[in-house]
Chains A and B, each alone.
Chain A
């Protein structure tokens, strides 16, 4: 089992992701510079958070044209696992690997705080070690996390059980007050139709040690590791 963390110019959560995979998942992991194109030795890649290309034009818009992204597309098509966190989620949407877009937060602010998300489905490679309905306390840190999509896309996401995480109250109830950024339907994370590509705005890699205020994020990596182990 081998993981890769893709490093774009401006990525800044790459080391956090690397640390979690090596220390908590306990698996080999490489940094992959965005100019590389060979992903053949990897089972899962992470597109980390940060500000790739300084968020120029739109968040994630320019990273999509990095040489590695063609390989990430093929990697995803081959059924291997792609996890996009925060800026990684924005890149996956810009690249068309996930539907919808992430626009400016409803209240304009850059929000950096711990929030709660509810696991909406345990039928994903990233949540299958958790029960549907589990509430996770994980930080967010973004200015463009307001998920938007058209009515058809939303209906499709709901019908295909592809909304993986939704912003919620500590008790798990879904309210507008628990929605930090105005995301449609409180969406915090979605997966691809084949379920192997996940994008989410919260940062599970920053919630893997009690010292950091929460270790709830570990269950996401634990699920992924178990899925990869079963697949290889």
Chain B
């Protein structure tokens, strides 16, 4: 079983790295981009001894308490069997 956690800055939180990346991408000639936001992605391998529901609960807790800072970031958890 594998968990995927996506962590992104909340909308409204300044992302100067995303802005710099957007600028570079536009210099390459890509147009029509209204915004780029940089985030983090975690893959967590689970040993399969827990069921999907409790796996989700523990990964949600992990995401909330460690992987993200709830003041500035949102997270999303996906569990793959």
- Distance between B66 CB and nearest chain A CB, rounded to angstroms: 7
| Contacting pair B69 A58 (CB below 8 A) | yes
Contacts of A107 in B (CB 8 A): 16
CB neighbours (8 Å) of A65 from chain B are 66
Pair B72/A148 contact, Cβ less than 8 Å: yes
Q: Does B17 contact A101, Cβ atoms closer than 8 Å?
A: no
**Chain B: minimal CB distance from A152 (Å):** 12
Interface residues of A in 61-113 (CB under 8 A from B): 61, 65, 93-94, 99-101, 103-108
Q: Size class of B's contact patch?
A: 10 to 19
Interface residue ranges of B26-47 to A (CB < 8 Å): none
B60 to chain A, nearest CB (A): 17
Instruction: Enumerate chain A residues within 8 angstroms of B16, measured Cβ to Cβ.
Output: 104-108
A residues 29-67 touching B (CB-CB < 8 Å)? 57-58, 61, 65
How far apart sit A106 and B69, CA to CA, in the bound complex (Å)?
19
Does B13 sit within 8 A of A, measured CB to CB? yes
Interface membership of chain B positions 62-81, coded 1 if the CB is closer than 8 angstroms to chain A and 0 otherwise: 00001101011000000000
> What residues of chain A lie closer than 8 Å to B67, measured between beta carbons?
57
Q: Nearest CB to that of A182 among chain B residues?
A: B14
Q: A57-B67, A61-B66, A108-B20 are in contact. Are A101 and B72 (CB under 8 A)?
A: yes
- Nearest Cβ on chain B to A102's Cβ, whole angstroms: 9
- Shortest CB distance A98–B (Å): 11
**Interfacial chain A residues near B20, Cβ < 8 Å:** 108
The reply on A149 being an interface residue by CB < 8 A is: yes
Q: Does B14 lie within 8 Å of A103, measured CB to CB?
A: yes
Give Cα A76 to B17, complex, Å: 35
Q: With A and B bound together, what is the CA distance between A213 and B5 in angstroms?
A: 46
A108 and B20 CA atoms in complex are apart in Å by 9
Contacts of A100 in B (CB 8 A): 71
- Chain B residues near A61 (CB-CB < 8 A): 66, 69
Closest to A58 in B: B69
Note all chain B residues with C-beta closer than 8 A to A106.
Answer: 14, 16
14 interchain pairs, CB-CB under 8 A: A61-B69, A65-B66, A99-B71, A101-B72, A103-B14, A104-B15, A104-B17, A105-B16, A106-B14, A107-B16, A108-B16, A108-B17, A150-B71, A182-B14
